Structure 1
């Protein structure tokens, strides 16, 4: 099995654990429930990445046209992603932690809960959906907190390390992983 995206795994576990601990959802197999939630998140993540890659390819192929029309690359990328998403029937694009995306994915997870024979629910749909969205907000806040701490560590070096440089990215990844390990969110690699 491929290595899982750590924040998607963290988010899937957070969603499932919150619902299971509050007994909003009762699962025959809690690990299977977590896996199903992860798969919903991962499928959306892959679709989003494919849109980004396709938009980037289109921008590269039409760089002169984009420049000629005076459209910023950021704006062109956004417009292209929206058009591609519409063509592919993807209703919400953007960061997994945006409000729209969280609500969209909460709806997909809620449908899983309502239709999976291995799952039962004890609360109204709105309460379950709100708990799912709250899980997204909690993980997003954790990501912001870790990001801030990592940036502070990099800034505390005796000589300046400028964001965007290979050295900055290497330190960022290292400190980010250290922070995740320190918080018990991932296991150290042996």
Structure 2
């Protein structure tokens, strides 16, 4: 089985746990419900990643044209990504924790709840959707807290470690993982 994206797994579990604990949703198989939410989030994540990679490839192939036209790489990447998304019928792009994306994904999760025969719901659609969006907001806040804590740890080193360097990225990943474990959000990886 492929390794799961930690924050998507955390988000899927949070959404399902919140809905199930409030009894807004009743699932025949709670773990299966979590997995369905994860798959929905993961598919969107992969589509977003493919858009970003394709946009980057197009920019690399047309670097001279982009430079000649005086368009910033950031703006060019955004415009290309928007065009690709439109061509592929993807209506909302961006960070999974942006307001637009979380609302879009909340709608997809709500449709799952409304159409899945293994799920029943006890609240109005708006209440369920708001609970889902609230879960997104809580995980986004947690993510921001962890990021801040990790950056503080890196900054506390006796010698400066500059952001963007391989050393900085290695420390960031290590401290991030330690924070997740310390908060009980992921299990420590065991050596096999």
TM-score, normalised on structure 2? Answer: 0.98
1:86 & 1:162 partners in 2: Cα distance?
38
1:117 & 1:68 partners in 2: Cα distance?
56
Moved >2 Å (runs of 4+): none
1:173 & 1:5 partners in 2: Cα distance?
14
Query: 1:68-79, aligned counterparts within 5 Å?
Result: 68-79=68-79
CA deviations on 1:42-100 (whole Å, 9 max, x unpaired) are 00000000000000000000000000000000000000000000000000000000000
**Is it true that 1:188 corresponds to 2:178 in the alignment?**
no
Give the match's secondary structure for 2:168: helix
The number of equivalent residue pairs is 190
Which position in structure 2 is the counterpart of 1:176?
176
1:189 & 1:111 partners in 2: Cα distance?
35
Please provide the CA RMSD for this pair: 0.4
CA deviations on 1:94-131 (whole Å, 9 max, x unpaired) are 00000000000000000000000000000000000000
Which position in structure 1 is the counterpart of 2:66?
66
Which position in structure 2 is the counterpart of 1:134?
134
TM-score, normalised on structure 1? Answer: 0.99
Which position in structure 1 is the counterpart of 2:55?
55
- Unaligned ranges ≥5, structure 2: none
Cα displacement (A) at 1:178: 0.3
Query: 1:144-155, aligned counterparts within 5 Å?
Result: 144-155=144-155
Give the match's secondary structure for 2:51: helix
Give the match's secondary structure for 2:26: strand
2:158 & 2:2 partners in 1: Cα distance?
39
- Unaligned ranges ≥5, structure 1: none
1:63 & 1:164 partners in 2: Cα distance?
22
Give the match's secondary structure for 2:94: coil
Query: 1:120-131, aligned counterparts within 5 Å?
Result: 120-131=120-131
